[in-house]
Amino acid sequence: MTPFLDMSRISKRFGGVHALRNVDLTLQTGEVHCLVGENGSGKSTLIKIISGVQAPEPGGRISIAGQDYPHLNPVRSTHCGIQVIYQDLSLFPNLTVAENIAIGQHLGGVRRVDWAAMSVIALNAMAKVGAEFDPDTKVAELPIAGRQLVAICRALAADAKLIIMDEPTASLTRHEVDALIALVSELKRAGMCIVFVSHRLDEVLEIAERVTVLRDGVKVGTFDADTIDSRKLSHLMTGHAFDYDIHPYRLAAAPVVLELQGLGRDGDYEDVDLTLRAGEILGLTGLLGSGRTELALSLFGMNPPDRGVILLDGQPVSLASNAEAIRKGIAYVPEDRLTLGLILDQSITSNITLTVLGRLAGRLGLITAGTRNGHVTQWVSRLGIKVSDPENPVKTLSGGNQQRVVLAKWMATNPRVLILDSPTVGVDISAKDGIYDIIRQLADAGVAVLLISDEIPEVLYHSHRVLVMRHGRLTLDVPSSQTSEPALRQAVNA
Amino acid sequence: MNRRETLRLMGGATAMSVAGLPRLSWADTPKEMVTVVKIAGIPWFNALEKGIQKGAKDFSINASMVGPANVDPAQQVKLLEDLIAKKVAVIGLVPLDVKVCEPVLKRAQAAGIKIITHEGPEQEGRDWNVELIDSVRFGEVQMERLAKDMGGKGEYVVYVGTLTTPLHNKWADAAIAYQKKNFPDMKLVADRFPGADEIDTSQRTTQDVIKAYPNLAGILGFGSNGPIGAGNAVRQQRLQKKIAIVGTVLPSQAKALINDDIIREGFLWNPTDAGYAMVAVASLVLNGKPITDGVEVPGLGKASVDVAGKQIKVDKIMRINKETVDGLIAGGL
Amino acid sequence: MPDSLKAPSVKAALARFRRSHEFWLLAVILVLCAGLGAANPQFLTMQNLFDLLTSYAFVGILALGLLVVLIAGGIDISFTATASVAQYVALVIANAYGANWFSLFAMAIGTGVALGAVNALFVQKLRIPSIIVSVATLNIFYGLLIFVTGGKYIYSLPDWFATGIFWFEFDWGPTSSYGVNLQILILGIGFLVTWLLLNRTNIGRQVYAMGGNPDAAQRLGFHTFRLNMLVYCYMGAMAGAASLVQAQLAQSVAPTVLVGKELDVVAAVVLGGASLAGGVGTVLGTFLGLALLAVLQNGLILLGVSSYWSPLFVGLVILISVSVTAWSQRERRARRVRA
C-alpha cells in the first residue's frame, strides 16, 4: 500500500545551522504517528516543510499519495489534504463557530457571504466529530477543549487527509485528553492520518502506533509504540536517562509552617485542613476546576476565604492582599507563567527585581544600577538561567528559562512558603529536570513548598506527600511512598 | 509662521542676497514687533494683519503677525518663546488663555521686551492692553439692540465661544446685567450656551433651544460663528419673524443672513483698526511718550486710559447692518 | 439529531442579543428616551429625530469608517484632517470649474481614498503602529492644508450645493417642513453600505478575522496588505463623504474647525462596543453609541440643564452605560463558573 506521505533525505539549513539533516519520514494512511523531540530538535521545521511554509534543501524527496514533489507550498500542501493545527489553534475568537470551520469560504475575491452554506459545512464537520455547538456561538465563548474541536472541524471541512496537531493536549484536562484520544481513533478508522507533536510522553504512548524521535535535527528512529516506554523515550530524546524515585517521607519532626483549619470559600472549596512543614514538598493534584488553584490564590491573599483559619507558624493570619502575603513570606508562581508571572516585554533584570524593589532601594528610595545588577547576577547563577544579557526582554528566553526567571523573582523575596502552580507546563524534559532540581534544593534549604500539578507522576515523584482535591474537597492525603500512579489516577478521576 | 510670513521672509532674504547690500547702520534698523494672534489664516486675523501692516508703514516699525495653526494655547506659548529667543522689541498678543500665557510673558518682560495685548484685559505680564471697545459698553449696546427688536419683552438666550472665554463672558455678563436693570420684562431662560465659535455646533444648539423654549424671541450670540449657526437654524425653520438674532459677526459671512433680516444687526470692532492701534501704542511706548488719559492715539483719536489697570480704550464699535455691510465687505472684512 | 443541526432558532438569536453589549446600550438609550420624552414632549417628535440625524450625520459617517478600521485591528485618527482636505479640494474645484453632485462626491471621496492609502502604506509596509502613523499624518495633512490655503474659509459655495437636497418633503406645523436632506441621505447610505460590507461580503468577514487573530489570518493565506489597504481607504472615503455633509450643513468650508473633533467619533464607536484591540464591533452598536451621545447632548438642552453642568452628565451617562455592560458580562461569567 502506498504511504500517504513519504519523504526522504530532508535537510534544512538556517545560515550555518542544520535544523534538519537527512531526515526520512513515512506516514501511512489511517495511522496515528507521534513526533517527539526537545525544543530545537527540528520538529517545527519538519512540520513547516510538510505544510509547505518552508522549502527543504535540494536533494530531498517528498511524495504525497504516490506523487512526487520537489517541494511544497502552502496552497499545494493544503490542496493535497495536509492541515496543521498549531498549538494556539489559529482560530478567530470573534467569529462564530460556523465561520471558523468554513473559513475557506471567506477566501478569494469579493463575494457575497453565504451564511446558509457555511452553516451546512460546519454542521457536517461537527457531525463527524460528534460536536454539538450552536454554529452561531462565538468561538471566544467556548472552553479550550471546544475550541480544539472547532480547529479539528476546520481541518475536516478543508478535506484533510493528514492532520498535524502541535501540542494538542497542553491545555486540556485529563477528561478532555481522553475525549480527544477517542476522537483521534475515530478519525483514524475513517482513514485519516494523524500526526501528534507532544511533550507528554505518557499520552504519546497511549495514542500513537508509531513514534518518530528527533534529536538535534537528526532522526533517532521510528519505533512501534508498544516496543517502547516513557523512560526509554526520554532517553532517546535527550541522550540522558532520567530516573525519578519516590521521596522518602521523613519530615515529621520539622516545624509546621502553614496550617489550614476548615478553610472554605463558596463555590470554590470547602473544609480544607492541611499542614505544611518546613522543608516539605507537598503535592496537590486534582482536575482542572477542582478548586486547587482557587485554594492557592486564597493562600496568596488574592481570593479571601469565607470560613476557617490560616495559621502561619501557629499564629492565625488574615491575608487580605497579595502584598500582605508576600510580606508574611508566602510566594506564588502562577499556572500561566506567561500571562501572570512575567512581564514579557520587559528585561530579565526588571522582572527579577520586581518583587524586591522596596528592599533594594537605598537612601531616598532610589535603586542604584549596581545593587540591581548584583541581585540579578546572583539569582541568574543560582538558578542556572541561561541568558546572554540580563537586559534582554524575558520573551527572548526559552520556556524553561522563563520559568526559572519566575522562580528567581519569588525566591528573591526569601519566602517561607512557596506555592508552585503547574510549574512545568510547556517546558521540555531537560528543563523540567532542572526545575525539579531547584524545587528540591529549595526544600532542602527549609522552604515549605506546595506543588500543584495536573501531572500525576510530577506530584508523585517530586513531593513528599500528595493531596488530591475533588469538587473543592481534599479527598486523599498520603505520603508518596505509600501510593502509586494508578492509585492516584483513580482518586483524581473517581 | 503662516504662509504669508514665510513668503515675506523668503522674499526679504532674496532681496538682500541679490542686492548684496549690508544694512546701513544698526541705529537705522527699525525696531521689530511681532504680534501673536489666536489662529493663523482666518479672515478676522487677516484683517487685523492689514492694520498691522499699515501701522508698520506709518510708524516705521518692522511689524508682522504670526499665529498657531490650531486654536491651542500651548502653540501660542511656543511662538512667544521663539520671539523671546529672537529678541524682538515688542510682542503683540491676542491671548487664547491668559493663565497659560502669563509665565512666558513675564519672562519676555524680564528680557526687556514690551508687551501689548489686545482682547486681553485680564492678561498679566503686559505693558498695555488695547481695546477698541469697552467690554461693558459692547455688551450693553448689543442688548439694547436686541431689546429694541423684541419690544423690550420676551424670552432670550445667550451664546458664548466657551464657558471660559474671558471676553465673551464679560460681554455676556454686561448684557445680562443691562437687561435686568432696563428691561425687566425680558427673561434669560437658560444659562449661556457654549459653542458659538463653530457654525455647526451653534446651529445644533439653536435647533434644540427652539424646541426646549417654544416662546423664545431672541438670541444674542457672542463668538463670531454663533449668530451664523443660529441664523441657519432659524432660517431652516422659518422662524425669522419670531426670533431676533443679534451678535458679533463678520460682515462677509453674515451678509446673506443680514439681508434676509434674520440677523437683525451685527456688532464688532474693526480688526484692521485693532491691528493698527496695537502698532500705534507700541510706537508710543518705544518712543517713550507718556500715556495718560485722553492721549491722542495717532489715526484713531483720543483714548481713555486707565494707567493703573494698563488699559487703553478707543471707542470704535462697528455696526453691521443692511446699510453698512457692503461697504465693510469692500473694505476686506 | 443533535440540537445544533436544527435550524438556528429565533429564540437562540434573541438570547444572544440579550447578552450583547448592544442590548444593554439599547436599554440605556430607551430609558433615557422615555425619561426625556416624559419631561419634554418636544423630544419624541419627528422634527427632533430629523434634527438629530442631521446634526450627527458628520460624526456618524466618520464613526462608520473608524469602526471598520478598529475591527481590522488598526486605528486611524487622521480622519478629521482627511475630511478637511477633501472638502477643501472638492469645493475649491467645484467653485472654479463647476461640478455636479456626482463629480463633487467623487472628488471628495477620491481625495479621502488617496490619503487613506498613504496611511495604509505606512502601517503595512513599514509596520509602524497605526496610532503613530495616523497622529503623524493628521498633522501632515492638516499642516499642508493650512500652509497651502492660509486657513481661509470659503463662504461662497455653488448654489445647488448650498441649497442641498430635500426629498419626501412634508410640512410640520405652520412654520417648518422636513424631508430627507443630504445629511440624512448620506448617513443612511453609509450605514447600509458599511453593514453590507461587514456582514454580507467575504471581504468584511476577512476584516473581522484579521482583527481577531492577525497571525492566523496570515497563516490561512489572507491578503492582509490588500485588506488593510481597503480598510484605510474605506475610512478615507467615509471622511470624504462626511466632509461634504458637514460643509453643506455649515454652509461654508472652514479648514480649521474639523480637526479636534476626533474624540467625539472615537467615543461613539467605542461606546458602541468596538474594541481598540480589534476584531470586535458592529454597525448596530456604532449606531447606538452615536445615538446615545446625540440623545444626551440634545436631551440635556431640552431639559434645560445648565451648560455648566452638561459635561458632567455626559460623562456620567457614558460611565453608567459602559458599567452596565461590564457588570452584566461579569455576572454571566460568574454564573458560568458556578455552573
How far apart are the CA of C103 and the nearest CA of chain B, in angstroms? 25
Partner residues linked to B157 by β-bridges: B219
For residues B288-296, average pLDDT: 84
Inter-residue contact B186 to B152 (CB < 8 Å):
yes
Q: What is the mean pLDDT of residues A156-167?
A: 90
Q: What integer pLDDT is reported at residue A230 of this predicted model? A: 78
Contact state of C12 with A105 under an 8 Å Cβ cutoff: no
Report the range of poorest mean pLDDT among A42-46, B152-156, C3-7, C85-89. Answer: C3-7
- How do residues C101-131 score in pLDDT, each as one tens digit? 999 999 999 999 999 999 999 998 888 889 9
Q: Does A281 touch chain C (CB under 8 A)?
A: no
The CA distance from C225 to C227, in Å, is 5
pLDDT of residue B27: 47
pLDDT computed for residue B160 by the predictor: 92
Q: Is A426 helix (H, G, I), strand (E, B) or coil?
A: coil
Query: For B57-103, how does the pLDDT look when each residue is reduced to its tens digit (9 = 90+)?
Result: 999 999 999 988 777 788 889 999 999 998 899 999 999 888 888 99
Identify the residue among C1, C14, C18, C220 best suited for mutation to test binding to A, counting A beta carbons within 10 A and taking the highest.
C220
Of A428, A432, A429, C337, which is closest to residue A420 (Cα–Cα)?
A432
What pLDDT, in 10s, does the model give residues A197-228?
Answer: 877 777 778 888 899 998 888 888 898 888 88
Minimal CA separation from A86 to chain C, in Å: 9
Q: What is the full DSSP assignment across A325-361?
A: HHHTTEEEE-S-IIIII--TTSBHHHHHHGGGHHHH-
**CATH fold of the domain at A256-493:** Rossmann fold (3.40.50)
Contact check, Cβ <8 Å, C279/A91:
no
Q: Give the dihedral of Cα atoms C83, C87, C90, C93; nearest 10 deg.
A: -140
Q: How many CB atoms lie within 10 A of CB A262?
A: 12
Please name the residue of chain C whose CA is at the shortest distance from the CA of residue A130: C2
Cell of A290: 477542582
- Residue type at position A452: I
Contact A134 C221 (CB under 8 A): no
The mean per-residue pLDDT over the stretch C310-314 comes to: 84
Residue A247: closest CA among A447, A425, A439: A439
| Sign of the dihedral defined by the CA atoms of residues A304, A308, A313, A316, in that order | positive
Homologous superfamily of domain range B135-268: Response regulator (3.40.50.2300)
A163 pLDDT band (50/70/90 cuts)? very high
- Closest C-alpha among A69, A160, A68, A157 to residue A106: A157
CB of B194 within 8 A of CB of B163?
yes
- Among chain A residues, CA nearest to C1: A127
Residue appearing with cell numbers 473633533: C261
Q: Which three cell numbers stand for residue C147?
A: 500652509
First to last CA, chain C: 25
Predicted confidence (pLDDT) per residue in C186-203, tens digit: 999 999 999 999 999 989
CA distances, A100 to each of A121, A139, A153, B81, B274 (Å)? 11, 8, 9, 58, 68
| Residues whose CB falls within 8 Å of the CB of residue C101, separated by 6 or more in sequence, listed in order | C160, C165
A99 contacts C8? CB cut-off 8 A: no
Which residues in chain A have Cβ-Cβ distances shorter than 8 Å to C205?
Answer: 95, 99, 106, 113
Question: Residue B182: enclosing H or E segment and its boundaries?
Answer: helix B166-182
C-alpha cell at C290: 452615536
Round to whole Å and give the CA distance between B46 and B250: 12
Query: How many other C-beta atoms can be found within 10 angstroms of the C-beta atom of residue C39?
Result: 13
Per-domain residue ranges of chain B: 3-132+271-314, 135-268
Q: Which residues are paired to A261 by β-bridges?
A: A309
Q: Alpha carbon A314 to chain centroid distance?
A: 36
- What does the domain layout of chain C look like in residue ranges? 44-266, 282-329
Residues 6+ apart with CB under 8 A from C42: B211, B212, B214, C48, C302
Q: What is the DSSP letter of A96?
A: B
Provide ipTM, 2 decimals.
Answer: 0.82
β-pair type (A32-36, A193-197):
parallel
| C16 close to A (CB below 8 A) | yes
* CB count in 10 Å sphere of residue C152: 16
Q: What is the pLDDT of residue B18?
A: 37
**How sure is the predictor about C180, in pLDDT bands with cuts at 50, 70 and 90?**
confident
* Nearest CB partner across the interface for B203, out of C42, C249, C306: C249
Does residue B332 contact residue B47 with C-beta atoms inside 8 Å? yes
Same fold, A5-238 and A256-493: yes
Instruction: Give residue-wise pLDDT tens across range A49-107.
Output: 998 888 888 888 899 988 888 778 888 888 889 999 988 888 999 899 999 999 877 77
CB atoms within 10 A of CB A132: 13
To which residue does cell 524553561 refer? A400
> Beta-carbon neighbour count of residue A316 at 10 Å?
10
Q: What is the pLDDT of residues B240-261, one digit of tens each?
A: 889 999 999 888 888 888 998 9
Nearest-CA neighbor of A133 among C282, C8, C334, C15? C8
What dotted CATH number matches A5-238? 3.40.50.300
A127 HSE (CA, 13 A, CB side): 12
Q: How confident is the model at residue B4 (pLDDT cuts 50, 70, 90)?
A: very low
- From residue C24, alpha-carbon distances to C20, C31, C294 in Å are 7, 11, 17
Question: Using 50, 70 and 90 to split pLDDT, how confident is the model at B28?
Answer: low
Q: Regarding the domain delimited by B3-132+271-314, which CATH topology (the fold level of the hierarchy) does it fall under?
A: Rossmann fold (3.40.50)
Residue C288: exposed, middle, or buried by beta-carbon count in 10 A (0-12, 13-18, 19+)? buried
3 state SS of C169: strand
Nearest-angstrom CA–CA distance, C135 and A258: 55
**Placement of cell 473694505 in the chain:** B331
- Greater pLDDT, C281 or C166: C281
